[in-house]
């Protein structure tokens, strides 16, 4: 069984250059995680190319189990990236499902 973990974020800032900088930092931070969190089987991060979309950044990641997602979520590297994301995000949506 594979669990797909999908999270979308809307950045709080209205400034386009600030939004682009924050989205790039989120993307870079998330993309660094597979190298240090072995439970993370695959990861893809996308930044919208259409200004004004409902969400600015999306994460699509795969895990072998719900337990592996919990390990990932508590890993210090993830907590560091998540702290930055929480500091700049205005809205979040997430879903986990079997594939």
For residue 51, pLDDT over 90 is answered with: no
User: Is the distance from CB of 49 to CB of 20 less than 8 angstroms?
Assistant: no
Quote the pLDDT of residue 52.
77
8 A C-beta contact, residue 64 and residue 39: yes
All residues at 6 or more sequence positions from 1 whose CB lies less than 8 Å from its CB, including other chains: 64, 65, 98
Tens of pLDDT, residue by residue over 7-28, are 999 999 999 999 999 999 999 9
Say yes or no to pLDDT of 78 above 80: yes
For domain 3-90, which CATH number applies: 3.40.50.2000, 3.40.50.1460, 3.30.70.100, 1.10.260.40? 3.30.70.100
Q: Percent of the chain at pLDDT above 90?
A: 95
Instruction: Indicate the average pLDDT of the chain.
Output: 96
What are the beta bridge partners of residue 91? 10
Q: In whole angstroms, what is the distance from residue 24 CA to residue 26 CA?
A: 5
Euclidean distance between CA atoms 56 and 70, whole angstroms: 25
């Amino acid at each position: 069984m594979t669990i797909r973990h999908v999270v979308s974020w809307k950045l709080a800032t209205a400034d386009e250059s600030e939004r682009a900088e924050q989205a790039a930092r989120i993307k870079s931070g998330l993309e660094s995680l597979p190298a240090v969190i072995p439970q993370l089987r695959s990861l893809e991060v996308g930044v919208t190319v259409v200004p004004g979309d409902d969400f600015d950044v999306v994460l699509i990641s795969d895990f072998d189990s719900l337990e592996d997602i919990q390990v990932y979520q508590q890993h210090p590297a993830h907590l560091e990236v998540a702290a930055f994301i929480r500091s700049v995000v205005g809205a979040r949506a997430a879903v986990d499902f079997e594939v």
